[in-house]
C-alpha cells in the first residue's frame, strides 16, 4: 500500500547547532547544519525526494539513477515512502553492505563499472532501453539543486545573523549548486562558499584552475563519495556569479576531521563530510584571510554536515591506519 507523500517533504528540517569546540578553536561561532541526521543519513534525500515527488506527480512510478552510496540509499527510501520502484546502478567501489541497505528498502541494485561516471552511463542507457523507467542524473540536475537549496532556506530561519561564510564539500557539484541556489534565493548573495575536496577527487578544483571542465583519469582519494571524474558545468558557472573558494585537502585531513568530529560531537560521518569539516579543523578560514580571499572580521561560519550512511567505526579506523595517523 503506497503512502502518499505528495505535498510533504521526505526530508526533515535538521538542527543547526553551535559547535562549542570548533568555536573555541576558531575564535568565531561555528554552526553545524546537521544533515547527517536526515532519515537516510545524508542531505541527499532533499534533492532525491524532490525529484521522486516530481516524477510521481507526472504519473511516473519507476526511477533509476546511479550512486556510490548515499544517492542510492535516499532513492530507495524515497521510492519506498512514495510506493514507487527504484533501480540503482552502483559502481565497483560501493561496498556490498551499502548495496544491502538499498535492497532492504526494496530497491533493485545493479553493479556496473569502476566509478560513478561509468554507472551513470549505464543507468542512462538502461532507461532508454526500458520503457517507463525514468532516469535522473544524481548531481547534474536542477530538481536535485532545488531540493538541496532547502538546506540554506532552513539555515536562514535558524540563525540570528547572516553567516560570514559557508563550508561545504564537492563531489559532482550538486550540493555546491544547491547551497549557492539557496544562498541566492534568501538574498545572501555575498556570502562566500568554501568548496572543499580531497586530493584525488578534486575535479572541481582542477576545473576552476583550467577555467573549463576537467575529467580526472581516476579517483584516487579514499573519499569515494566525492569521486566524480567530472563535475557539473553549473557548479563551474556559479563561480562567475557567486564568491566560491575552492580548497583541496589530503585524505589524512578529512580522516582526522572525522575523528575529531567524532570526539567533539559523538557523530560518525563519511570522509566527504570530513573534507568539509577539515575546513575548520585545518584552519582553512585563517589561511584564506591571510591570502586576502576572505574578510578579516569573520563572526560566524556554517558547515554543511552532509553526513553519509556508509561510514562505520571500523572503516574510519582502517582509513586512519592506511594513511598512517598515530
Ligand atoms: C555524503 C556525501 N557527501 C557529499 C557528496 C557530494 O555531493 P555532490 O555529488 O552533489 O557534490 C556525496 C555524493 O554522493 C555524498 O554522498
The per-residue pLDDT for 6 is 52
Half-sphere exposure of 243 (CA within 13 A, CB side): 14
The per-residue pLDDT for 4 is 45
CATH class of 16-43+141-322: alpha beta
Whether the CB of 277 sits within 6 Å of ligand 1: no
Q: Work out the angle between the directed axes of helices 271-281 and 251-265 (0-180°, nearest 10).
A: 80
How many angstroms is it from 271 CA to the middle of ligand 1? 10
The per-residue pLDDT for 115 is 85
Ligand 1 pocket test target in 306, 307, 311, 315 with most atoms within 8 Å of CB:
306
Separation between Cα atoms, residue 222 and residue 209, nearest integer Å: 23
Separation of first and last alpha carbons in the chain = 52
Question: What are the extents of the domains in the chain?
Answer: 16-43+141-322, 44-135
Separation between Cα atoms, residue 267 and residue 261, nearest integer Å: 7
279 class by beta-carbon count within 10 Å (0-12 exposed, 13-18 middle, 19+ buried): buried
Q: Which residues pair with 89 in a beta bridge?
A: 66, 110
How many angstroms is it from 174 CA to the middle of ligand 1? 8
pLDDT along the chain (326 residues), means of 10: 59 98 98 98 98 97 96 98 97 94 98 91 96 97 98 98 98 98 98 98 98 96 94 98 98 98 98 98 98 98 98 97 95
Whether the CB of 91 sits within 6 Å of ligand 1: no
The per-residue pLDDT for 117 is 87
Sign of the Cα pseudo-torsion (102, 62, 306, 267, in order): negative
Same fold across 16-43+141-322 and 44-135:
yes
Grid cell 561560519 — which residue? 301
How many angstroms is it from 16 CA to the middle of ligand 1? 20
Fold of 44-135: Rossmann fold (3.40.50)
The per-residue pLDDT for 7 is 60
Separation between Cα atoms, residue 119 and residue 190, nearest integer Å: 37
User: Which DSSP category does 38 fall into?
Assistant: S
Residues 6+ apart with CB under 8 A from 120: 66, 89, 137, 138
Amino acid at each position: 500500500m503506497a503512502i502518499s507523500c505528495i505535498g510533504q517533504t521526505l526530508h526533515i528540517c535538521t538542527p543547526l547547532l553551535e559547535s562549542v569546540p570548533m568555536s573555541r578553536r576558531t575564535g568565531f561561532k561555528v554552526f553545524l547544519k546537521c544533515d547527517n541526521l536526515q532519515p537516510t543519513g545524508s542531505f541527499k534525500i532533499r534533492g532525491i525526494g524532490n525529484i521522486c515527488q516530481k516524477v510521481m506527480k507526472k504519473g511516473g512510478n519507476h526511477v533509476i539513477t546511479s550512486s556510490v552510496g548515499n544517492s542510492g540509499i535516499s532513492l530507495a527510501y524515497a521510492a519506498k515512502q512514495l510506493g514507487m520502484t527504484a533501480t540503482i546502478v552502483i559502481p565497483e567501489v560501493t561496498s556490498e553492505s551499502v548495496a544491502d541497505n538499498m535492497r532492504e528498502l526494496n530497491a533493485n541494485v545493479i553493479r556496473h563499472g569502476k566509478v560513478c561516471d561509468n554507472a551513470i552511463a549505464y543507468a542512462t542507457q538502461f532507461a532508454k532501453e526500458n520503457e517507463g523507467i525514468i532516469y535522473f542524473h544524481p548531481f547534474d540536475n536542477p530538481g536535485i539543486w532545488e531540493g538541496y537549496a532547502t538546506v540554506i532556506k532552513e539555515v536562514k530561519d535558524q540563525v540570528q545573523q547572516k553567516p560570514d561564510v559557508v563550508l561545504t564539500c564537492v563531489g559532482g557539484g550538486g550540493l555546491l549548486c544547491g547551497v549557492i541556489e539557496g544562498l541566492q534565493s534568501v538574498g545572501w548573495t555575498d556570502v562566500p562558499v568554501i568548496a572543499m575536496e580531497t586530493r584525488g577527487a578534486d575535479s572541481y578544483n582542477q576545473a576552476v584552475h583550467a577555467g573549463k571542465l576537467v575529467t580526472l583519469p581516476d579517483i584516487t582519494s579514499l573519499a569515494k563519495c566525492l569521486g566524480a571524474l567530472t563535475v557539473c558545468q553549473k557548479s563551474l558557472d556559479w563561480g562567475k556569479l557567486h564568491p566560491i573558494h575552492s580548497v583541496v585537502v589530503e585524505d589524512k585531513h578529512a580522516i582526522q576531521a572525522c575523528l575529531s568530529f567524532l570526539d567533539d560531537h559523538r557523530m560518525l560521518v563519511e570522509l566527504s563530510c570530513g573534507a568539509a569539516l577539515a575546513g575548520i579543523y585545518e584552519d582553512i578560514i585563517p589561511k584564506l584571510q591571510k591570502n586576502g580571499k576572505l574578510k578579516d572580521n569573520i563572526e560566524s561560519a556554517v558547515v554543511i554536515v552532509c553526513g553519509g550512511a556508509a561510514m562505520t567505526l571500523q572503516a574510519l579506523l582502517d582509513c586512519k591506519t592506511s594513511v598512517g595517523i598515530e
